[in-house]
Amino acid sequence: MKLKSHGNASLSDEDAEQAKEDFAAQGLYTGPAIGGALTQIIANLLEISPDKESAMQMLSACIHNASVNVADKKATHYAGHEIH
């Protein structure tokens, strides 16, 4: 059974699919949830940073790393293939 990691928890494919269906059935969508989470993370980053320039440098580095990770996964893994 393939498990998907969600923080400290792991869900089976069936459980992950059921969670998606339950989320949508309740009228909840991932866009607002992710947007809200990112807004809070960025607000916390700005609050604890010594200055806004430092915060923006860290944010820029994170965005760059995320784009590299996504580009690498798209180039080496295709939909439906398990990553080992």
39 three-class SS: helix
59, pLDDT greater than 50: yes
| 53 vs 60: CA distance, rounded Å | 10
pLDDT-derived band of residue 1, with 50, 70 and 90 as boundaries?
Answer: very low
pTM of the model: 0.52
Only one residue has tokens 């059921």, namely: 18
Only one residue has tokens 């994170």, namely: 62
30, pLDDT greater than 50: yes
